[in-house]
Structures are given as C-alpha cells and as structure tokens.
Amino acid sequence: MRFDYRIVFIITGLLFTLSTSLTVVNYFVSVENIRSQLKDSSLPLTVDNIYTVIQKQIIEPNLISSMMANDTFMKDWLSHEEGETDKIVRYLDTIQNKYKMSTTFLVSEKTLNYYTAKGLIEKIKSGNPNNAWYFDFKNIPEVNEINIDHNEFMGTSLFMFINHKIFDEDFHLLGVIGVGLKTSYIDDMLKRFRQDYKFNVYFVDDFGQLVISEKRENSPSYLDKMPDLKQLGLSFVSNGSQIYEHTKNNDMYLLNRKYIPELDLYLIVEAKIDDFTSKLEETFYFNIAVTLLLTLIITIIVLVYVRKMHRRLNDLANNDVLTGLPNRRTFNDKLEYFLLLTKRNKSPLSIVFLDVDNFKNINDSKGHDVGDKVLKELATLLNATVRSSDFVARWGGEEFIIMLVDTNVDNASLIAEKLRSVIESCESLQSLVDFPVTASFGITSIKSDDHIDDIFKRVDSALYQAKSEGKNRVINAT
C-alpha cells in the first residue's frame, strides 16, 4: 500500500474511532442518566401517580366499605330492624349503583343472614367452605381486609371483596359489610400500567404473598419466588418507600416498594430498564451506522482528493512545468532502467544532448516570454519528430536531452542531423523571433561498462565542442 493511502486510512480510522468512541460514551452516559432518572425521579413519581389512581380505583371502594360499616343507619338496622329486609336491600342497592360497585353485601352476626342488593341470599354456616371467609375474618383482630375469592351467587368471575367489621357502641361485632370488584376490572387497570407505562404492579402483604396482581402466565404466588429476588433482601418491616435493584432472566430491574396504609398492603412497582433504554439502543446503532457511512463518504472524498493531489505532485516532481516534458530527475530514472535493459539484451542505446544557440540573445532582445514560447515550441517539435519509443526531456534552461532506444551511434547521428535541420527550418520558431532558431547537438552511444556520469560527461563534451566549432552542428563523442 502506498504511503499516501496509508495516511488516508489512518486518518479516517482515527476519525471513525473518535466518532464511535464519542457515540459509545454518549450512549452509556445516556443509559446511566435514564437509569438515575428512573431510580430517582420517574419511578417514585410513577409510584405516586399509581397510588393516586389506586386511591380512586381501589382505595375509594375501601373507604365506601368503611363508611357503610360506620353508618348509624346500618348499626341501628342490625340492632333493631333486621326484620325489615327491604330497607337494607334498598340501602345496598343505592350504594352499589351510586359508586358503581360490582356488588355490595352485608352479613349479620346475629342471624348469619347474607344480604346483597338482590335481597337475602343465604344463611351462612361455619361448615360451608364458601362461607369460611366470614369466620376467618371474624376471628382476626383487623377491622378490615381484602379478600379475593369467588362468589357462588355471582358466576365464575373472581372478585376482590373489601370487608369491614361493624361494631356497636360497646365494640360488639354486629356483622360484616363490604363491596366487591371484579378482578378483571383490576386486571385491566394493572395491564394498562404495564402496557402504557411499562411498569409491573403488584400488591403484597407482610409476608410477600401476592394479594393483587395482573393475571399473566407464570405469575408467582409469592413475590420471593421470583428469580433472584430473595437476594434482594426485600423488607416489609418499614412502612416508607424503598427502591431496589435486582436481576431476572439476565435483565436488570428497578423495584419501588411503597406501603399503602389504607389497604395495609405494599404497592410494588417494577421497571425493566431495557424497556426504557431500547429506543436509546436503536438510536445508538443508528448513530453508529451514520458514523460509518459518513466516515466512508469522507474516506472516499479524501482518497479522491489525495489521488488528485498525488498525481499533481508527481507531475510537478517528474515533469517540466513550462514545456510539459519529463525533467532531468525523470530522465535519470528512465536512463538507469534502460541501461540495465541494454546490458541484459545487449541492445544499442544512444543519447542526444542539444542546446538552443544564442538563447540569451533571444531573451534579451525579445523578452523572456518569447523565450518561453520558443522552448515550448521546440519541445513540441522534438516530440513530434522522434519515435514514440524514444524519450525526450528538458535538461534545464535551453538544454534538452533525448534517449534513442535500440539506436546505435550512426543512426543517432542521422536522427540528430534531421532534428537540427528541422529546427533550423521551422517557420513557427522563426515567426517568434524573426530569424532562424538553431541548436547544437552532442551525441554518444552507450558502452557496456558505462556509468551514468561517464555518459553525461561524454555527451556534454560533444555538445561543448559543437558550440565551440560554430554552433548549429552535430558532434559525435568518441
């Protein structure tokens, strides 16, 4: 590979490396910024937003249930008017329709009657598995609970029941009242959180057991059964908000835990970091592709420019600017090559050295611009007269040199004489200076033991002799 191309590839390689490095650094900085923003701002803010929605969608029914449990009418009816079923039916129906609950219900501790907005449904029994929820709730100290269960009178749908105990003034249990929501409604809400905001939302109790979650395949029964989550050391002791990091299926997650006192549950909001950096990753690969394309375009442009400049520099280094002929340096390189070729093939090679006669007078009398025109016209004349296999160069000043390939000294003398005659009789040269332009010639033939310096010394001596003998003649060096 040529040096100038190596420089181009090194520069473009460095350019691509720099651009790519900046893109990579920017990508990782952006990922870290998103991660920090997610951890310090977005996730806590989203938890608060979700909590606000939960207050409306879940906590509101809890407050309604609590309100009914503390309603004076409810307590009086259970204590004195339970026989008037139509009153409690209208009450439950009004609450259900007003707040758009899936169901409202009441269980009397005295009669064990189970009421809904449709009337008296059944009398619950301790031996009935479907009624176990009431007796379990009755025997715990908490005054409310969330219970997810089926109801045999409401089809096969799974409901979330928010139960509240009703007490008289002496804190004796009068019954249990509450509201029910279809879990499909809750599931839609949690699904919307996942799809719209890319957050997985769970509600767990003090033991880490999932109480409310979106119905999805492979959903765990206990939060601590989720892969690698045990190592997280998730604490359900403190009631504040906590943020954790954990790995699941080789993906990084951020998890925010917030205690919801109204439900006595913990809101768990989980964010997969890749969900928030995927577009950034797409942008990263796009930027890399653009960088590569731009680098390729720049490389092509630079290569074209360098090649153009390289050709121009070669022309300036190897050719004479004025005449367009090869210069002395190029002629020497060419002569070295043909010397080796001549010695190998034992073929003849001759050199013709010529100098324009009285060129100083031309410059002095006609001006240097005319002198330049004479040299250019002479160069054109020489190229047109010699064979295409021969090599014409400008030696310097008004001196020219010709290498005659496969030409012995006798033939070289004939060619030189022809050139002398053509120059002398050239009308275009005469028109430039108003008198015939002549040249003196020295010629020599290459010998087997010749060195370049010996060749130039002989041909220069022959030219000097031609000048000293009256100019406008050909002298053959011995």
CA–CA dist 275, 253 (Å, integer): 10
The token duo for 440 is 């003196």
In this structure, the answer to whether residues 23 and 99 fall within a common structural domain is yes
pTM: 0.48
CA 312 from chain center: how many Å?
Answer: 38
Angle at 470 between CA 469 and CA 475, to 5 degrees: 50
The token duo for 394 is 């400008």
Helix (H) and strand (E) counts in the chain: 14, 16
In this structure, the answer to whether residues 12 and 147 fall within a common structural domain is yes
Task: Look at residues 103, 97, 94, 197 and name the one whose alpha carbon lies nearest to residue 153.
Answer: 103
pLDDT at 235: 55
Q: What is the pLDDT of residues 104-163, one digit of tens each?
A: 999 999 999 999 999 999 999 988 988 998 999 999 998 988 876 766 666 656 678 899
The answer to whether position 287 is within a domain reads: no
**Is 12 within 8 Å of 303 (Cβ atoms)?**
no
Active site residues: 398
Task: Look at residues 82, 93, 103 and name the one whose alpha carbon lies nearest to residue 163.
Answer: 103
Residue 189: pLDDT over 80: no
In the listed set 249, 277, 305, which residue is the last one of a domain according to the structure?
277
Number of CB atoms found within 10 A of residue 275's CB:
15
Residue 262: pLDDT over 70: no
In this structure, the answer to whether residues 262 and 349 fall within a common structural domain is no
Q: What is the pLDDT of residues 460-469, one digit of tens each?
A: 999 999 999 9
Query: Rounded to 5 degrees, what are φ and ψ at 166?
Result: -110, 125
pLDDT at 230: 45
In this structure, the answer to whether residues 256 and 382 fall within a common structural domain is no
Sign of CA dihedral 233, 226, 188, 134: negative
Residue 218: pLDDT over 60: no
Q: What is the pLDDT of residues 391-441, one digit of tens each?
A: 999 999 999 999 999 999 999 999 999 999 999 999 999 999 999 999 999
In this structure, the answer to whether residues 9 and 69 fall within a common structural domain is yes
Question: Which amino acid is located at 127 in the chain?
Answer: G
Kind and range of the H or E run holding 253: strand 251-260
Domain span including residue 345: 328-476
3-state secondary structure of 143: coil
CA 235 from chain center: how many Å?
Answer: 40
The pLDDT confidence band at residue 171, using thresholds 50, 70 and 90, is very high
Q: What is the CATH number of the domain that holds 426?
A: 3.30.70.270
In this structure, the answer to whether residues 243 and 357 fall within a common structural domain is no
In this structure, the answer to whether residues 371 and 252 fall within a common structural domain is no
The answer to whether position 192 is within a domain reads: yes
CA–CA dist 180, 165 (Å, integer): 15
Sign of CA dihedral 93, 97, 98, 102: positive
Query: Range with the lowest mean pLDDT among 46-55, 211-220, 263-272?
Result: 211-220
In this structure, the answer to whether residues 338 and 204 fall within a common structural domain is no
The answer to whether position 433 is within a domain reads: yes
User: From edge to edge, which strands make up the β-sheet containing 391-396?
Assistant: 391-396, 399-405, 349-356, 439-445, 474-476
Query: Rounded to 5 degrees, what are φ and ψ at 83?
Result: -70, -25
CA–CA dist 197, 295 (Å, integer): 38
Q: What is the CATH number of the domain that holds 87?
A: 3.30.450.20
Tally of domains in the chain: 2
The answer to whether position 299 is within a domain reads: no
The answer to whether position 314 is within a domain reads: no
CA–CA dist 443, 349 (Å, integer): 11
